[in-house]
Structure 1
């Protein structure tokens, strides 16, 4: 039966467009350099005149191809043009290693930059970002486009300048962090990004799939609980194998009944799982995971007494990354390095939800087809396999499988020895750092010269890879996925069979194995790949079949196991783990989708506040919500369901009315029912706040008013949102417990999350109103009676402390506030000193405080007790 090869709509469009590009090529090639450069302005004018990007695409791609040929000396192949069209259509282009993905990206990036919208090329590390920006930037600069590089640790103004360029190259994680930071700024001018329009992701599967399990987190505000980490760590060190259970399939670890009993005894608890012990339970769970699941030189390494994470897919150190929720601290306690304080999450987003913010997204990689379902489900992107420029002649041999690890390593060393003898370059892929070091010892004993590339030698990566294709080269590499550097076999090496890729373990994903294989046989070169496996490999250890299989195949001894069934079993195990990992990423995304909707609303409202010149309408809405929440607060309801008038008035007057001449009394509010009281409180607050606003305008002008209000509201917004993120984080951690009550954790999280978000909006409204009504900058500029009245209002009648201390404290506050605003207005130091001196003289006179009393109170040497109590703001 004849097989039918289905072509996607994107591939049919790409092939049709390629024919048009080739038709344009002779005409474009006749242009002078100046005429070719002028094409950029011509395209921009045509787009402004109403032509669509699709209509000009063939000519744009032809211009890009000609510019690439003239600047880089390389004419992009037809298959590279097809790949570029696939990228311009917002899909994933799967192109084999060595097919020139970087040059493929030039045309779609040029096409999208013509619109004037933001165009970002995302890479997996800064080395690649700089390399590509410099090399491809030559073409873009030739065509009149500006190119920027965005890096971590760059100054804000340099970042802003990079994003302002027509094309910006950046590491993927830094893009996410910049987005989060942009939504924490206090003015719109501080933002660095100029929009999320089009992004082209290099190694798209590594970024959107492999790294999608861990969210991006900005942390701050140390939370010292180091004694809990230490206590949990010491307890876990006392456990034996009967006290915990590891689920190898899901990599989860739990205390058994014996372990729980031991914990109760160790910590002197009646029940470990009482609600008051929840923080310690969480620490114990992390300590268990750190000791029993996380492995040194696999998931992390210790370098310079610091825990550094290893990317399990690329073998690289993940600079600046740390595990969240206390796991990092648990590993630090395990490895006996300094336990850093766990920090509070200030902002967070998953890779999935960040990249889905872009209006258009595309990506290229050597391997993506096995994960097409995930690309479609989560990102609405199809995967299109772009044909190779030359046929692949590499030989992919069948896997050799051994009963135990020792037999496997013996076979690997024997094979390396054979290959080295004939001088064929060999790249040996290991899954873990400790495997590469075991093999290193074996090869040393055999006297075979070799080079090791793992997370510990990451700095010399490019140099090691450059030599890996030379005659007689033996290179051991931990996980070659996403390395981004081609291995080019020398002419002599090709004559003896090209690059030999030897895999020593199957990865959790077939994509990673395919990437390792793809290092050999680039651009039609000869090459050879083979995997050597054992029943002791991690892939088999994750399933409860290892002992059973070892018993069945023990007769093979040190010989490879024959037959196809065992190879199919390995493939089946790999597919099962791919399924687990997909479910895990989908679960992360489902839970983050709840907070994504909330984050979108908060950031949208935040942008509204940043961009409005008059915040009056927003403030009135906040006051309305605050009034309703205050009147309906159950704290003021007595047992007979009536309002505690005295307590209510005290609360409202102390928190909202300190700077006003209005004070609520029980007799005044007694006559209102609940609904009318809400309206009465709201109307009074609006009326009094208008007076405060007028004071701000009188003192600082309309611009100063907006700046003051914006700063107050945003600070309330940000603090409340940060608290909410941490509440939601704890909520997510605890929802798995509802499974025992036969409830769906996601549904429970969604329901409780919605309730918490409603509480958040109420908190922002009340906090914003309180802070606006207590803004001391809104006090009258010269009315001493008002200032004295406010001060009297602030005094606690039951406070027996010297009133002079209170007055001096209040004066210090007013002077500090004035000082801050003078700085913002850009006054010189001399001008500020003169204004403050004049203001201080006026306030001392109004409050009847002598200069000597004031200086003495503010001099910690003369009066430590007095100074400690006052804590002057200046």
Structure 2
């Protein structure tokens, strides 16, 4: 175990002044967690004496049930964590290291902590969750996926029971009653998507229906950057069945016969595609029409562009996979299937037609909410990650939380080798495969990180041609990832994986693997974010194990080709294709920073377009909740409906109150759905406002506000019309000719591959300025 004096250290002596300056400036990620060292020392001292106590005596050390733990009191906090540490040793067989105790104290004081992979974040989560629950808070532990939520809830239950705390997991397949009971546990493990979907379900409930989520109180987020940043701008959607739309099979067939460059063009960043004049003529001829751009053919034009995007921009085994006859999207940041995720209906249907699959049912979006909006709903938010420092600025900006680093329990001895940059991807793969084969022959375990399902399968085949059999871990087989990862550290094992972020399982070295040099991590090209690179690199060298990490890159990598167009050639290239020209090495790093900047701008822009909508949604929900839970609110609302006839309002509230409540809720929901759909249509064309020298965001907010101002009066009028025409014997919405969706379902809408509003503004202006010429960046 690390000595506490060593724990107090802050790296090499020359690094300390840099840390002091950063803390003085309050730079993100420089929060001083060592100020909690006295509390940690007190905990370590107390827990040593607790070892001598019997179980009954230890149980009595807990605070009495009539009192609540005060996390701001150092003495109370130290006493609780000392008991919790000893309880973890006895009930889980895990005694927290001092650095884990430091992490727990920091998180219970509201900080986000950066802990290296393999340092025991799961146990820290147990301690923090128990501490928050002991204060009387209702705690949600937000995991990266359902598997981890179920696993950790089961693993932590014995410790929580020692404090009289209940624990449950909320996962797919649970019924409504079971879900509601799980959320009423002291500690509930779930994904942020599960919580968001259940909030959306609650917002559709009718009188008499039970509320699933009692409220958002305290959240502990495991892999906080993967959970709340990578998916922060993903809309969670609740949809209802809708009338089927006309089939686009004919368009799919027409587009399939078009030729790139002749009939359509794809922009260099592969986020937009457009028809050439020859392409437009070909489509018009095939459809038997004169003008595809005629005003009366707006819907057909839209369908034609969506079909083109499905053909030209969305790639199988990169953006999606086909499993059991279904299109399943791949989460770019995690390299796995994104559960219940789909593109907007038109594009999703176009992909299904492209693949020759049955088109899934059409849906009408009833409501939606961003993952980030769900996270912002918690009164208290803390978390941990192996790459929280890289995300510190965004965590501070987006969620107003401070981040600090926790030292490793044992000194890290992993060797991080400089990148090897090649001219072509083929040269890169050849060199990487030889390194993997040599390591495999020597018995060293190897983990190869790739950028997509297609890349992982292709490189596994390259290895197979050299006699190396690799285990594949990607979106097509992520159901068995725990089993694959459990063997990835065995002597001579070779594993080829997509992104490792948020997998929640450590790679432990098998017998004899340390003697071969430990785990070799080889990244095949860098990701769009250096944070994801560090996630991959951190799989090696856990808990002081030996290991090595290196990235093999090329000028063909997406991080280069999608950001820059290079106009010159490297001056110094080795016979194996390795680039020795430092200018190009810096250029690769610059391209990655450009990619990160684009992601950040997309994040900020998306949030900006949702801020006003979130405010409007909350106003509607407040009205809805009052109607459901406060009897006087319905009376007040109906008095607005029947301003000239108070007796009519009283008649409805006294004789058919439930039906009146259902009508008001129905019209509120209908008005909100229509408002959302109108705003979605506005967003699609808002970028054109730049032609009139208008700010698209300002114009969007103006239109949204104007529409929302009419929503209330229109809803009141709609309620009045329905109630005025209601038959005397009507008792249900059906009797009034109203129908809620016969079924609802939830899903996530992934990023549109042809860009956000910001992307389209930039692309549109750039195209105008260039006179239609493709973008290029030349470095000389």
Are 1:686 and 2:671 an aligned pair?
A: no
1:45 pairs with one of 35, 45, 66 = 66
Alignment partners' CA distance in 2, 1:26 and 1:368: 31
1:530 pairs with one of 550, 556, 563 = 550
Counterpart residue number, 2:623: 605
Counterpart residue number, 1:796: none
Cα 1:814/1:176, change in 2 over 3 Å: closer
SS at match of 2:668: helix
Alignment partners' CA distance in 2, 1:47 and 1:564: 60
Alignment partners' CA distance in 1, 2:111 and 2:250: 49
| Contact 1:226–1:341 (Cα < 8 Å) also in 2 | no
CA-CA distance at 1:250 after TM superposition: 7.0
CA-CA distance at 1:124 after TM superposition: 1.2
| Contact 2:218–2:380 (Cα < 8 Å) also in 1 | yes
2:191 pairs with one of 168, 171, 174 = 171
SS at match of 1:562: coil
Are 1:332 and 2:292 an aligned pair?
A: no
| Contact 1:693–1:778 (Cα < 8 Å) also in 2 | no
Counterpart residue number, 1:574: 592
1:771 pairs with one of 722, 729, 741 = 722
Alignment partners' CA distance in 2, 1:621 and 1:52: 49
Cα 1:76/1:188, change in 2 over 3 Å: farther
Number of aligned positions between the proteins: 715
Are 1:411 and 2:371 an aligned pair?
A: no
Normalising by structure 2, what TM-score? 0.86
| Contact 2:469–2:494 (Cα < 8 Å) also in 1 | yes
Per-residue deviation, residues 238-266 of structure 1 (Å, max 9, x unmatched): 25314444333472333455555655665
SS at match of 2:580: coil
CA-CA distance at 1:342 after TM superposition: 3.0
Alignment partners' CA distance in 1, 2:84 and 2:32: 20
- Mapping of residues 514-593 of structure 1, within 5 Å: 514-546=534-566, 548-549=567-568, 551-552=569-570, 556=574, 558-593=576-611
CA RMSD of aligned residues (A): 2.6
CA-CA distance at 1:76 after TM superposition: 0.5
Normalising by structure 1, what TM-score? 0.77
Alignment partners' CA distance in 2, 1:250 and 1:600: 37
Alignment partners' CA distance in 1, 2:362 and 2:713: 28
SS at match of 1:213: coil
| Contact 1:11–1:384 (Cα < 8 Å) also in 2 | yes
Alignment partners' CA distance in 2, 1:755 and 1:55: 55
Cα 1:233/1:369, change in 2 over 3 Å: farther
CA-CA distance at 1:40 after TM superposition: 4.5
Alignment partners' CA distance in 2, 1:534 and 1:528: 20
Residue range with higher mean Cα deviation, 454-463 or 260-269: 260-269
Alignment partners' CA distance in 1, 2:144 and 2:374: 16
Per-residue deviation, residues 427-462 of structure 1 (Å, max 9, x unmatched): 111111122222222222222232112111222211
Residue range with higher mean Cα deviation, 437-446 or 225-234: 225-234
Cα 1:269/1:100, change in 2 over 3 Å: same
Counterpart residue number, 1:20: 42
- Mapping of residues 372-521 of structure 1, within 5 Å: 372-521=392-541
Are 1:301 and 2:321 an aligned pair?
A: yes
Alignment partners' CA distance in 2, 1:757 and 1:51: 43
SS at match of 1:341: coil
- Is the radius of gyration larger for structure 1 or structure 2? 1
Cα 1:120/1:75, change in 2 over 3 Å: same
Cα 1:239/1:769, change in 2 over 3 Å: farther
Counterpart residue number, 1:707: 658
Alignment partners' CA distance in 1, 2:669 and 2:75: 45
- Mapping of residues 362-381 of structure 1, within 5 Å: 362-381=382-401
CA-CA distance at 1:156 after TM superposition: 0.7
2:677 pairs with one of 703, 723, 726 = 726
| Contact 1:692–1:778 (Cα < 8 Å) also in 2 | no
| Contact 1:233–1:284 (Cα < 8 Å) also in 2 | no
Per-residue deviation, residues 633-678 of structure 1 (Å, max 9, x unmatched): xxxxxxxxxxxxxxxxxxxxxxxxxxxxxxxxxxxxxxxxxxxxxx
Residue range with higher mean Cα deviation, 426-435 or 391-400: 426-435
Where does the alignment leave 5 or more consecutive residues of structure 2 unmatched?
A: 1-12, 24-29, 739-780
Where does the alignment leave 5 or more consecutive residues of structure 1 unmatched?
A: 625-681, 697-704, 780-812, 821-874
Alignment partners' CA distance in 2, 1:20 and 1:276: 76
CA-CA distance at 1:322 after TM superposition: 1.0
SS at match of 1:212: coil
CA-CA distance at 1:81 after TM superposition: 1.3
SS at match of 2:505: coil
Residue range with higher mean Cα deviation, 319-328 or 610-619: 610-619
